[in-house]
Structure 1
Amino acid sequence: VPTMFARLLRDPDINRYDFSALRKVMLGSAPITLGLLNRIKAAFPGVEITHGYGTTEAGPAVFGPHPDGLPTPPLSLGYPLAAGELKFADGHSGDEGVLMMRNPAVTPGYHRLPEKSAQVLQDGWYYSGDVMRRDENGFYFFIGRADDMFVCSGENIYPGEVEKLLESHPAVRQASVVPLPDEERSQVPVAFVVLQEGESVTREALKQHTLAHGPAYQHPRRIAFLAELPWAATNKVDRQSLRLLASTLEQEQGWEA
């Protein structure tokens, strides 16, 4: 899981270890940012690094290399494997939306949960809830979870897109973005940021960085610096605890503390 590598790279002794036998690193289970990917490459030079995708309901083999040998772009999950079918649902274009999959590994249903099964399974198609886009060469990229998406002043915001903007700043090691209720705009993005060792940056500088490199509605309205992001039992960032922390900070006016 990318979060585990983010913590691994903080080991001050990592350069002392012998990784000469390491040939391949495969990441999965959560999205990755370009900043973290580049840090992993720097820590393990010459090692093949891939970012995989799969679901319990539709199997672990969905994407692979391009059949024409085109190199997989950074952050791409790959090109669809020939054994399965893919299509988009709920999208604004034919190249973006919630990924639906049909292949021999798709489950016939959840055990004793017929209503849940009916929500995500139809005619052998599995509705993943993962929003993705497809580029001109057929490579797929993860955007975010449909249920993580929130609306700010009528604009759809996926936390992962804002996190990528924040982590593209050289002082930022890791970021997590959650929605904060707002009377005027419904919800606004707020960010929790872990800085690189020995680095410093102001909240205003980070806001200006996101405004300069992304749409204005995406920029985080509040930023808090943390020594470490909280983990859930799945080794992913615990977004629920960050939502609760955001609410507490807002009530106590503690964002600048």
Structure 2
Amino acid sequence: MAEVVHFTDWPWQHWASLQPDTIALVTDTERYTWRSFSEHVYQLAAYFARQGLQKHQAVILRGKNSVELLLSQLAIIASGARVLPLNPRLPDRLLDELLPHLNIDFVIDFDGLGTLTKDYPTLEYSNFLLFTANDDFQLMQYTEALNLPATLILTSGSTGLPKAAVHHVTAHLNSAEGVINVMNYQQQDCWLLSLPLFHVSGQGIVWRWLLRGGGLSIMARPLIEALQKVTHASLIPTQLWRLLNQDTAPDTALKEVLLGGATIPTALTDLAASRDIVCWSGYGMTEMASTVCAKRADGKKGVGIALKGKQVRIVNDEIQIQSSSQAMGYWFDGEIKPLKCTEGWFQTNDKGAFIENEYQILGRLDNVFISGGECVQPEDIEAIINSHPKVVQSFVIPIDDAEFGQRPVAVIELDDSEELNDIAAWLKDKVAPYQYPMAYYRLANELKASGIKVSRQQIKNWLLKESE
């Protein structure tokens, strides 16, 4: 692996100086060199400054991945301000409750809905190419900005209001270094920005690109087509299945894939290996700026060991982490509230074990419920359901029951050809009676908010409505 760079300028400035004519960014219609990309960030930062953006302010970026959104994020951070990339599908009700606590100064709504502009001033971005910065305009010095709040990334909010984890640039780059230290992503390679920037895994892709000085691809075309043009991608297993199981197998430059979001079947990794694609599996979280553990996917349940700059331990069945990519805390009402830590170790609330020289994630400690006096860990049941070849993903949710206290209900995303009754019959002899779901539902499309992580609380609320 190539030695990791320690920057004295902003990463895009560094690469623009070192390899100005190398392609940095590829879209459906354009190719940006590092020189041109760096100039775009500079001009946009100057354009925002003309509109009143100052350091220590906060800007919402709402929308799907695009060159404009990426440029805006970097220009804002290079101005000494912080960005809040926002999922455009978050409901107004939640935003009305959350955003007043995040001290927002401006909004850029790439989604075009305009619902936020009534509450916050807008930064205009579309005409920045017609703007020429004054010769005396300067970005904030990289060395001064390294440890300032740069990004606010919302946690999943599976139990209540999402929290806004605060990271500085150093944490993002340290996270990137951990992944690059094991995956073979080089400057001649190109990583597809296949995950949204409002999710920490999407941010992880960007900071690996900036740290390595490789290529990044942002495509509006269908994912299957976009994957044929890149060497690296971050995907959920279903997406890789669809690529590899087309009737006519496409020619692809894909070399390595970082998989997450579900159990990874050995059949999938074997099929990928037959096409010379290396699969990696990992474990990460918003508070750690993305991936903490990773390994070559091998069909085993584990997630490998801690990456460079991370330490993992297990205390009372709980995974705890120390990391150089740890968040500064959670932003709330103008303050950075501390993470829940014990002597510097972040308490993840994930249940884990160290088995056969690697860590296993056994579920969330707060997901456990009691049914008829028995402790039920939903993830144990989900792992069995997910092993069915027609199941995409599943969720086991506790529903109140007069006799048993609570009983499990399964919500499953299936291939269209499969029936829920068939899954129920198949599962019958594979779990204990107290683990067997009392009812089965198909996962509604409305619950797949971001394509990455579905909220258990949203599923429970949906189930309660369905049962009324």
- If the TM-score is normalised by the length of the shorter chain, which range does it land in? 0.7 to 0.9
Partner residue in 2 for 1:63: 293
Summarize deviations over 1:202-227 as a string: whole Å, max 9, x none.
2xx53453342233322111112357
The answer to whether the aligner puts 1:27 opposite 2:259 as a matched pair is yes
Structure 1: stretches of 5+ with no match in the other structure? 92-96, 252-257
> Contact 1:3–1:237 (CA<8 Å) still a contact in 2?
no
Partner residue in 2 for 1:75: 301
Partner residue in 2 for 1:106: 326
**Change in 2 beyond 3 A, CA 1:64/1:196:** closer
Summarize deviations over 1:220-254 as a string: whole Å, max 9, x none.
11112357572124632243332123223333xxx
Give the one of 140, 153, 164 matched to 2:383: 164
Partner residue in 2 for 1:240: 457
In our comparison, the structure showing a higher alpha carbon Rg is 2
**In 1, Cα distance between the equivalents of 2:446 and 2:240?**
14
Amino acid at match of 1:155: E
**Change in 2 beyond 3 A, CA 1:155/1:84:** same
Deviation at 1:130, TM superposition (A): 1.6
Identity of aligned residues (%): 24
> Contact 2:318–2:348 (CA<8 Å) still a contact in 1?
yes
Deviation at 1:72, TM superposition (A): 5.1
Partner residue in 1 for 2:281: 51
Q: TM-score, normalised by structure 1?
A: 0.72
> Contact 1:106–1:124 (CA<8 Å) still a contact in 2?
no
Structure 2: stretches of 5+ with no match in the other structure? 1-194, 196-233
Secondary structure of 1:212 counterpart: coil
> Contact 1:58–1:126 (CA<8 Å) still a contact in 2?
no
**In 2, Cα distance between the equivalents of 1:170 and 1:13?**
13
Partner residue in 2 for 1:146: 365
Partner residue in 2 for 1:117: 338
Amino acid at match of 2:367: D
> Contact 2:378–2:396 (CA<8 Å) still a contact in 1?
yes
> Contact 1:192–1:226 (CA<8 Å) still a contact in 2?
yes
**Change in 2 beyond 3 A, CA 1:209/1:101:** same
> Contact 1:57–1:107 (CA<8 Å) still a contact in 2?
yes
Partner residue in 2 for 1:87: 313
The structure whose residues are more often helix, as a share, is 2
**In 2, Cα distance between the equivalents of 1:218 and 1:116?**
38
> Contact 1:72–1:78 (CA<8 Å) still a contact in 2?
no
> Contact 1:171–1:201 (CA<8 Å) still a contact in 2?
no
The answer to whether the aligner puts 1:176 opposite 2:405 as a matched pair is no
Q: Relative contact order: is structure 1 or structure 2 higher (C-alpha 8 Å, sep ≥ 6)?
A: 1
**In 2, Cα distance between the equivalents of 1:170 and 1:101?**
34
**In 2, Cα distance between the equivalents of 1:167 and 1:127?**
27
> Contact 2:408–2:438 (CA<8 Å) still a contact in 1?
yes
The answer to whether the aligner puts 1:134 opposite 2:354 as a matched pair is yes
Deviation at 1:196, TM superposition (A): 2.7
* Paired positions, count: 234
> Contact 1:172–1:193 (CA<8 Å) still a contact in 2?
yes
Q: Which range is displaced more, 159-168 or 170-179?
A: 170-179
**In 2, Cα distance between the equivalents of 1:3 and 1:178?**
25
5 Å matches for 1:148-227? 148-200=367-419, 202=421, 205-226=422-443
Summarize deviations over 1:144-185 as a string: whole Å, max 9, x none.
222333222233323222122112234434322212111222
Q: Which range is displaced more, 10-19 or 239-248?
A: 10-19
Amino acid at match of 2:283: Y
**In 1, Cα distance between the equivalents of 2:289 and 2:413?**
33
Summarize deviations over 1:118-139 as a string: whole Å, max 9, x none.
6x1232111112222221x221
